[in-house]
Structure 1
Amino acid sequence: MALLPIRRHPDAVLRATARPVALFDATLSQLAADMIETMYHATGRGLAAPQVGLPLRLFVTDVRWREGDPEPKVFVNPELVSASDETVLREEGCLSIPDTPCRVRRPARVVLKWQDLQGAGHEAAFEGIEATCVQHELDHLDGVLCIDRHEEENLA
């Protein structure tokens, strides 16, 4: 595995719409493994392919590794299926915009569908910090950064 350089704002790749992954092969698996290693090394909880310079619809997450055993997840070609009307305001960090926390309001629960590294389809519901994380990473695939969604409202 290898550590990948993380692109920082205002790098143009962070504003591009990522293209779907079409080839599910060893190269994709290696990229995902490298992204997971890079995410852990940078002490992040998520990392999208555009953040390492690749405009692909791929992201990795692990929201609990700091508190327990690593449980990395890989999302290929993810799509938002549904989102709750209930929202939550949380402070989010971004590896591409270091030292710039943003207060972002997002749906409290979401349902996502995606493919795994072999191309098999999955669908699941996410809530809490995991819902926030998958939405943050999904935004990266559409060229949206947390600074675009920042609210000045106090966290309460």
Structure 2
Amino acid sequence: MSSEVLVEKRKLKNPPLNIHTLGDRVLRQSAKRVSKVDDEIRELARQMLQTMYSADGIGLAAPQVAVGKQLIVVDTDPEEPANQPIILLNPKIRRHSDDLALGQEGCLSIPGVYLDVRRPAQIEVAYKDEQGRPQVIVATDLLARVIQHEMDHLTGVMFVDRVENSLLLNQELTKQGFSKQAVKPVEAA
């Protein structure tokens, strides 16, 4: 069965949603579970995908567009029309590997800042799809990283909160005009 949330993978001059940036309080609030999967949720997912593609992103969480719902959209291959995006409602990591991978991350809410973050290399995530059906995905490499990054947004955590090199973090934030006071460090995964 194909997704009801098909969107063209292209940049829009006027994307439907505004992406909030580091320092906006909305990014630090915990999102609520989606209790009913309906057309309104599917439309939100559609608008999030359009906004993500317009910003050259590969993941976007509802809190980034000031919607306090546990909804993330992911497309690790936005240049490939045949590659379907993944829409995850109420995602929950059931298992993760003990081995950690260090990889560079960026965020649509912190434009221009790219830094290394250590995360589990493999995860198993349970979620509901855009039809409300329970799903489980085992993700590795980039997909695992993007899902974990976006899931952090659902609890008010930003990737800069996980950066271990504080000197480099402060340099990069300052260079892009962000306040290092907006960072709230968390323990590594």
Fold similarity call, TM over 0.5:
yes
Question: How big is the alpha-carbon RMSD for the aligned residues of Structure 1 and Structure 2?
Answer: 1.6
Q: C-alpha separation between the residues in 2 aligned to 1:82 and 1:17?
A: 21
1:24, CA displacement in angstroms? 1.2
Q: Does 1:151 align with 2:164?
A: yes
Partner of 1:140 in structure 2?
A: 153
Q: C-alpha separation between the residues in 2 aligned to 1:122 and 1:71?
A: 15
Opposite residue 65 of structure 2, the aligned amino acid is V
Q: 1:111 aligns with which of 96, 102, 124?
A: 124
Between the two structures, name the one with larger relative contact order (CA 8 Å, sep ≥ 6): 1
Opposite residue 3 of structure 1, the aligned amino acid is P
Q: C-alpha separation between the residues in 1 aligned to 2:37 and 2:78?
A: 26
Structure 1: state its 5+ residue gaps.
none
1:125, CA displacement in angstroms? 0.3
Identity rate of aligned residues, in percent?
A: 39
Partner of 1:32 in structure 2?
A: 45
Q: C-alpha separation between the residues in 2 aligned to 1:60 and 1:102?
A: 22
Partner of 2:93, secondary structure, is strand
Q: 1:22 aligns with which of 35, 42, 45?
A: 35
The structure where strand makes up a greater share of residues is 1
1:65, CA displacement in angstroms? 1.7
1:74-89 alignment, distance < 5 Å: 74-89=87-102
Q: C-alpha separation between the residues in 1 aligned to 2:101 and 2:94?
A: 19
**How many residue pairs end up in the alignment?**
153
Q: 2:24 aligns with which of 11, 29, 33?
A: 11
Opposite residue 133 of structure 1, the aligned amino acid is V
Structure 2: state its 5+ residue gaps.
1-6, 8-14, 169-189
TM-score, reference length from structure 2: 0.78
